[in-house]
């Protein structure tokens, strides 16, 4: 039977939610239905976390996994008690504890010879982040409150210096344990009592705390209630101002301004780009630089339009690569010929071997010649640099391709802004403003991170062939759409100047 607590309890994730925002904590406990279901990309990240967690356990051989589900916490606590009192069990995974209304599960508790334990929190990140310290601290508080002596607490994260050599991972190379005992104890002493008191008070309240929106809504995590809390915001809210600093945000809030259209002329602290956005929104028309026509005249057919997709997994896929190293696996290329004809070519690596050699060879032959290659931002240039280093024999050719890149994002920032961009220069936001007839809504994949995860899933040996085919087509469709979007944006810009 699942436990039914008489009053709300805290957990690691709820504590973390409460640190971000008391309103978020309240909504998570009482109104979780107001948050959307996790996206496929978020779900895939959870899956990666689970795979990393399972691998990390192998660093502590002979341990016992407390398999009792999370919703049967009392049972899990009891099973944990048995495991900890059995000196023959060197480590316990998913150990469960409860103390002062807080329920936690520890990734790993390792037994020491002196009757104490070492605590390990596994993170699929490349380093210890600030937000990991409270996460470990709350576990220390509960484990020690439950009567277990903890000698040291660690964050066990991925070591980015590790180079995968193929076969099974060398776990001692892949993982790195950083001792955060003193930082966690300092947090427990100085900050946790006040934070916990505020959380319990919020949870006793009859309604969600009236916390104002701000930087906290996206930091350190995008809040799952973001859309709910921002639903009544004006169409052009000040949060859309590019690179909005805390100082400007506070100044605008102090003046009671939430709508860009209400910012008075001459309001101090706006950057040149923010002023451009404001003037464009207030005037209800795009900003077009005086130099746009001349600049566009320099960009003539034949033109290539290029986009890469790369994968950068925590657990390296290919021998010779490091954790989180970006490995390109797919490109899409539209070519606009001098006679106005549009052609398309694509590459998507299908095998389980390193995609980079085939990626580079196919690309070099596809962009033969000297036509400019339109890209969006600097991602392709960075990947080409990586490729040149990885394949020295083709470095000259790859660098020659790189020298032909034309960054449409940089061009746009300099010459154009449409109020429909809502402060963003992301291609996904620029496209509906400039070329509303083309979008991503009909596609299975709609963003680069989802594409990378789809590619990983395509490589998993247990992914059924039918699903693999579906993902392959989704990847081809997505990347093709990105380069078609570049063509459309350039044509839309040309239409602005006649």
Nearest to ligand SF4 of 223, 430 (CB atom): 223
Binding track, positions 168-207, relative to ligand SF4; x by CB under 6 A: ----------------------------------------
124 within 8 A of 94, measured Cβ to Cβ: no
Instruction: Report the number of secondary-structure helices (H) and strands (E) in the chain.
Output: 19, 14
Q: Which residue from 12, 15, 16, 24 is in contact with ligand SF4, where contact means CB under 6 A?
A: 24
Q: Which residue from 23, 103, 185, 334 is in contact with ligand SF4, where contact means CB under 6 A?
A: 23
Burial 346-383 (b: 16+ CB within 10 A, else e): bbbbeeeebbbeebbebbeebbeeebbbbbbeebbeeb
Helices of type H across 86-180: 132-145, 171-174
Nearest to ligand SF4 of 14, 415 (CB atom): 14
Site for ligand SF4 in 228-247 (CB under 6 A): 229
Nearest to ligand SF4 of 14, 24 (CB atom): 24
**Residue 65, beta-bridge partner list:** 93
Using the structure block, give the residue that is written with the tokens 């006679």. 339
C-beta neighbour count of 82 within 10 angstroms = 12
Nearest to ligand SF4 of 29, 452 (CB atom): 29
Three-state SS at 176? strand
121 within 8 A of 140, measured Cβ to Cβ: no
Site for ligand SF4 in 209-228 (CB under 6 A): 211, 213, 216-217, 223, 225-226
DSSP letter, residue 202: H
In angstroms, the CA 361 to CA 343 distance is 19
Nearest to ligand SF4 of 22, 317 (CB atom): 22
**C-alpha to C-alpha distances, 482 to 94, 243, 441, nearest whole angstrom:** 43, 25, 13
Nearest to ligand SF4 of 29, 52 (CB atom): 29
Number of residues that bind ligand SF4 (CB under 6 A): 13
Binding track, positions 379-408, relative to ligand SF4; x by CB under 6 A: ------------------------------
Nearest to ligand SF4 of 217, 454 (CB atom): 217
In angstroms, the CA 18 to CA 202 distance is 9
Which region among 23-31, 37-45, 129-137, 268-276 touches ligand SF4 (by CB under 6 A)?
23-31
Nearest to ligand SF4 of 230, 300 (CB atom): 230
Helices of type H across 180-336: 181-190, 192-204, 226-229, 246-254, 272-283, 292-297
Smallest distance from the beta carbon of 217 to ligand SF4, in angstroms?
Answer: 3
16 binds ligand SF4 (CB under 6 A): no
Distance, CA of 88 to chain centre: 41
Binding track, positions 25-64, relative to ligand SF4; x by CB under 6 A: --x-------------------------------------
Using the structure block, give the residue that is written with the tokens 């100082």. 247
Site for ligand SF4 in 312-341 (CB under 6 A): none
CA angle (103 as vertex; 43, 107 as ends), nearest 5? 55
Nearest to ligand SF4 of 217, 387 (CB atom): 217
Site for ligand SF4 in 417-476 (CB under 6 A): none
Nearest to ligand SF4 of 120, 225 (CB atom): 225
Smallest distance from the beta carbon of 12 to ligand SF4, in angstroms?
Answer: 18
Helix, strand, coil share (%) of the chain residues, nearest 5:
45, 15, 35
Smallest distance from the beta carbon of 223 to ligand SF4, in angstroms?
Answer: 3
Q: Which residues bind ligand SF4 (CB under 6 A)?
A: 20-21, 23-24, 27, 211, 213, 216-217, 223, 225-226, 229
């Amino acid at each position: 039977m699942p436990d039914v607590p008489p009053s709300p309890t805290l957990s690691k994730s709820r504590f973390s939610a409460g640190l971000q925002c008391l309103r978020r904590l309240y909504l998570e406990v009482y109104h979780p239905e107001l948050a959307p279901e996790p996206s496929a990309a978020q779900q895939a990240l959870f899956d990666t976390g689970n795979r990393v967690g399972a691998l990390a356990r192998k660093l502590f051989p002979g341990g016992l996994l407390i398999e009792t589900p999370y919703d049967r916490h009392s049972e899990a606590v009891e099973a944990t008690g048995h495991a900890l009192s059995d000196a023959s069990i060197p480590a316990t995974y998913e150990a469960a504890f409860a103390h002062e209304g807080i329920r936690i599960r520890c990734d790993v508790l390792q037994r020491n010879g002196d009757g104490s334990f070492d605590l390990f929190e596994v993170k699929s990140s490349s380093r210890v982040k600030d937000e990991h310290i409270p996460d470990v601290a709350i576990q220390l508080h509960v484990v020690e409150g439950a009567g277990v002596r903890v000698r040291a607490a660690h964050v066990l994260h991925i070591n980015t210096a590790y180079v995968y050599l193929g076969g099974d991972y060398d776990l001692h190379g892949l993982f790195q344990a950083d001792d955060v005992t003193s930082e966690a104890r300092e947090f427990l002493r100085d900050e946790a009592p006040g934070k916990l008191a505020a959380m319990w008070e919020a949870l006793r309240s009859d309604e969600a705390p009236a916390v104002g929106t701000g930087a906290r809504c996206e930091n350190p995590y995008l809040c799952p209630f973001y859309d709910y809390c921002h639903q009544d915001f004006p169409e052009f809210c000040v949060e859309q101002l590019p690179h909005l600093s805390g100082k400007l945000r506070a100044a605008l809030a102090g003046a009671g301004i939430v709508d860009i259209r209400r910012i008075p002329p001459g309001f101090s602290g706006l950057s040149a780009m923010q002023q451009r956005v404001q003037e464009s929104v207030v005037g209800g028309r795009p900003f077009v630089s005086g130099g746009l026509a001349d600049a566009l005249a320099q960009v003539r057919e034949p033109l290539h339009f290029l986009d890469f997709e790369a994968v950068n997994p925590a657990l390296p896929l290919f021998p010779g690569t490091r954790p989180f190293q970006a490995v390109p696996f797919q490109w899409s290329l539209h070519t606009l010929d001098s006679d106005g004809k549009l052609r398309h070519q694509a590459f998507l690596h299908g095998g389980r071997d390193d995609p980079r050699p085939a990626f580079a060879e196919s690309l070099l032959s596809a962009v033969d010649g000297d036509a400019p290659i339109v890209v969006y931002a600097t991602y392709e240039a960075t990947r080409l640099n990586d490729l040149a280093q990885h394949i020295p024999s083709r470095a000259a050719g790859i660098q020659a391709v790189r020298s032909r890149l034309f960054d449409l994002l940089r061009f746009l920032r300099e010459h154009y802004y449409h109020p429909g961009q809502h402060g963003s220069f992301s291609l996904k936001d620029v496209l509906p403003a400039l070329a509303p007839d083309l979008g991503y809504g009909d596609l299975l994949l709609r963003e680069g991170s989802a594409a990378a995860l789809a590619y990983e899933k395509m490589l998993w040996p247990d992914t059924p062939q039918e699903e693999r085919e579906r993902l392959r087509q989704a990847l081809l469709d997505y990347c093709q759409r990105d380069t078609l979007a570049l063509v459309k944006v350039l044509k839309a810009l040309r239409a602005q100047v006649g």
